[in-house]
Chains A and B, each alone.
Chain A
Amino acid sequence: DAGITQSPRYKITETGRQVTLMCHQTWSHSYMFWYRQDLGHGLRLIYYSAAADITDKGEVPDGYVVSRSKTENFPLTLESATRSQTSVYFCASSESRLAGRLFTTDTQYFGPGTRLTVL
């Protein structure tokens, strides 16, 4: 049971380069999320997706692009990396379910993270 995986685990790149972080989950969860975690800011949502081909911006989307052509994959691309994008990036997935008449979020499960350094 692979769960949710991220690659690469560590990445060093230079300012201006394009970088893609991969996220893959084996649970067929509908929802997937990208967060960045920085000291003093906690976990901040970058982008999220409710299903294949449905994505939306989170709290800090500038400079990032996502796609979701398949349910199990949710890559995050930094189009032109900047030093301020040096961070630890976490991917997460969850399934939503009905609780009475309302949808409720279920637990988000996190990948192991990617530590990105932009020089």
Chain B
Amino acid sequence: QKEVEQNSGPLSVPEGAIASLNCTYSDRGSQSFFWYRQYSGKSPELIMFIYSNGDKEDGRFTAQLNKASQYVSLLIRDSQPSDSATYLCAMSAHGTSYGKLTFGQGTILTVHP
């Protein structure tokens, strides 16, 4: 079983809709969770991180964490064509050495006008 699994996608939503990206993980020691966005041909860039159960909002983005169910999600409200990218979730465990992150495979999101 992969340590981090993302909904396989690709995901296509119309402009203005809510895009929902999901990630499940197997390591209960995971404590820090990150969402990165990667445009084609570019490097990953951080969108949000979340450490605590519940929701964390930043503009049009909301990260949701449920440690009991071992999933983390990213909601993008009012999706724009510029949101079209690959979204990577990543996680690490507190206290593990060197701050290593484990990445999911990524979900390709397309927002069509």
Interface residues of A (CB under 8 A from B): 31, 33, 40-43, 45, 48-50, 56, 58, 90, 94, 96, 99, 102-113
Instruction: Mark each residue of chain B from 91 to 113: 1 if its CB lies under 8 Å from any CB of chain A, else 0.
Output: 01011111111011110000000
Task: Check: B49 CB closer than 8 A to any chain A CB.
Answer: yes
Q: A31-B99, A42-B104, A96-B99 are known contacts. Are A105 and B92 too (CB-CB below 8 A)?
A: yes
B25 within 8 A of A: no
A99 touches B94 (CB 8 A): yes
Pairwise interchain contact B44-A43, C-beta atoms closer than 8 A = yes
CB contact between A31 and one of B51, B88, B98, B106 (< 8 Å): that residue:
B98
The residue from A40, A49, A103, A108 contacting B101, defined by CB atoms under 8 A apart: A108
Question: Looking across the interface, which residue of chain A has its beta carbon closest to that of B94?
Answer: A102
We find that the number of chain B residues with CB closer than 8 angstroms to chain A is 25
Please tell me which one of the listed residues B32, B43, B46, B97 contacts residue A113 in the complex, with CB atoms under 8 A apart.
Answer: B43
> From residue 29 to 44 of chain B, which have CB atoms closer than 8 A to chain A?
31-32, 34, 42-44
A48 to B100, CA, bound (A): 8
Instruction: Select one of A31, A41, A45, A104 contacting B32, CB under 8 A.
Output: A104
Interface residues, chain B, CB within 8 Å of chain A? 31-32, 34, 42-46, 49, 51, 88, 90, 92, 94-101, 103-106
- A96 to chain B minimum Cβ distance, whole angstroms, is 5
Most buried by B among A56, A108, A112: A108
Q: Are A111 and B43 in contact, with the CB atoms below 8 A?
A: yes
Give the complex CA separation of A113 and B32 in angstroms.
Answer: 24
Residues in chain B near residue A106, CB distance under 8 A: 99
- Pairwise interchain contact A58-B99, C-beta atoms closer than 8 A: no
B43 and A105 within 8 A (CB):
no
Whole-angstrom distance between the alpha carbons of A49 and B96 in the complex? 13
13 A-B pairs within 8 Å (CB atoms) are namely: A41-B105, A42-B88, A42-B106, A48-B100, A56-B97, A56-B98, A94-B99, A102-B95, A103-B95, A103-B99, A104-B94, A107-B46, A108-B101
